[in-house]
Structure 1
């Protein structure tokens, strides 16, 4: 029961952060869950719940989706997810992946603290930039369920003038890539019966957390929320690396 309660709180916090800032569920969840499960088990749980979470948020922001902006980056992301599937399927039980995850999370934290809002007149490349970011986000997301920062970077450039369009398009990307990952691993039998219990607990958690986050979306400072999340992720990432190396 204690383990389930801890998992519930981790996922609740992560889904709340995503509801407020548009991303962060995977970062928060993958900062702690690998301390209790393998990277493969953690990723599959987080991606499955991220699918539910993103559908919930995207549905609430549906009218703000701009479909044309999704074509290139989403196509590249789906290709990246196929690569991520092969890596996770064959190497997801190795402890070294926990170290790689910790290093990546630290890099994300540095980005979150140093990144600045884009300038109003920033021109966004519509070809190579979404292809590169889509492939990277799809691959990292397929292995560690934390590919969000690549998509956040692109959609912040594209929709810095409208935070609702930014969040809505971000969620659609998460939905499509999560469907790809869940389908590939489901066909290959990577899900176990024990997974269902954790998924049920997580489902309740993310529905509550996302609702709270979206409700406060217009009232809370996204920058302050991201800084708090970044500090939490940094501590957890360092702990992940130390635990894996000991």
Structure 2
């Protein structure tokens, strides 16, 4: 039990550090390993609950950089997507097939991370169908697997190619508000258990420490290198989920 808690603590610590230094990655790292210990439903609820705290912590440190007008369309779509994610996770979250689906999705994210190119700062970003599509996708996947971040990362990188603080601040407030909705819906539906509290408290310490260190190093470390390291770790875990899930 102690060893299991220590492993979970380290997983969450690394994930929160990655998010603090790069803007996202907590859900990707955590959901790559937690399903080996819990069901997808239990893993997602733990990660989303901790992501709420983690995103709030980072958002408060970058609050002045939030650009609220740019959030309206994508955030509205994301909240609608979270409703669909809640329905699927609430009813089918105990099924092992979700671990395989999660593994396949994570592999896709890894491919995207390695193949993505820096956005063109001169290219005009679509403000209607693009944020709607990405918001719905990120909200749905985030509500089921807690890994909807890449959808929002893609949009905000296009929107703020030369302002990493606005990029990260808008990303964190999106994560925060969608996490609040997911936690509220599952809380009302009685999906949280007594055992959840112990794991949450362990995770709470890890995310507060990891995110704080990550934000402090935000201006010094290469985000690209951090993302590549995290991508390799995620790829290995995703392969295991597909094979042994």
Alignment TM class, shorter chain as reference: over 0.9
Structure 1 unaligned segments of length 5 or more: list them: none
What does residue 31 of structure 1 align with?
32
2:17 paired residue number: 16
Alignment of 1:134-145 (within 5 A): 134-145=135-146
In 1, the alpha carbon distance for the partners of 2:22 and 2:164 equals 9
Match of 2:234 in 1: 233
Instruction: Tell me, in whole angstroms, the C-alpha distance in 2 between the residues paired with 1:48 and 1:158.
Output: 27
Q: Secondary structure at the match of 2:232?
A: helix
What is residue 106 of structure 1 aligned with on the other side?
107
Give 4+ residue runs of structure 1 displaced > 6 Å after superposition. Answer: none
In structure 2, the partner of 1:121 is 122
CA distance in 2, matches of 1:114, 1:82: 31
**CA shift at 1:29, angstroms?**
0.1
Residue 119 of structure 1 deviates from its aligned partner by 1.2
Residue aligned with 1:123, SS:
coil
Name the structure 2 match of 1:210.
211
SS at match of 1:121: coil
In structure 2, distance between residues paired with 1:59 and 1:122: 30
Give the distance between the partners of 2:151 and 2:240, measured in 1 at CA: 24
Partner Cα distance (2:121, 2:170) in 1: 19
Q: CA RMSD in A?
A: 0.3
1:103, distance to aligned residue in structure 2 (A): 0.2
Aligned to 2:93: 92
2:31 and 2:135 mapped to 1: Cα distance? 20
Secondary structure of residue in 1 paired with 2:186? helix
Match of 1:147 in 2: 148
> Which position in structure 2 is the counterpart of 1:78?
79
CA deviations over 1:62-117 (Å, ceiling 9, x no partner): 00000000000000000000000000000000000000000000000000000011
Instruction: Structure 2: state its 5+ residue gaps.
Output: none
Query: How far, CA to CA, are the matches of 1:131 and 1:74 in structure 2?
Result: 9
Equivalences for residues 154-165 of structure 1 within 5 A:
154-165=155-166
Mapped partners of 2:139, 2:117: distance in 1: 24
1: CA distance between counterparts of 2:123 and 2:243? 40
User: TM-score, normalized by length of structure 1?
Assistant: 0.99
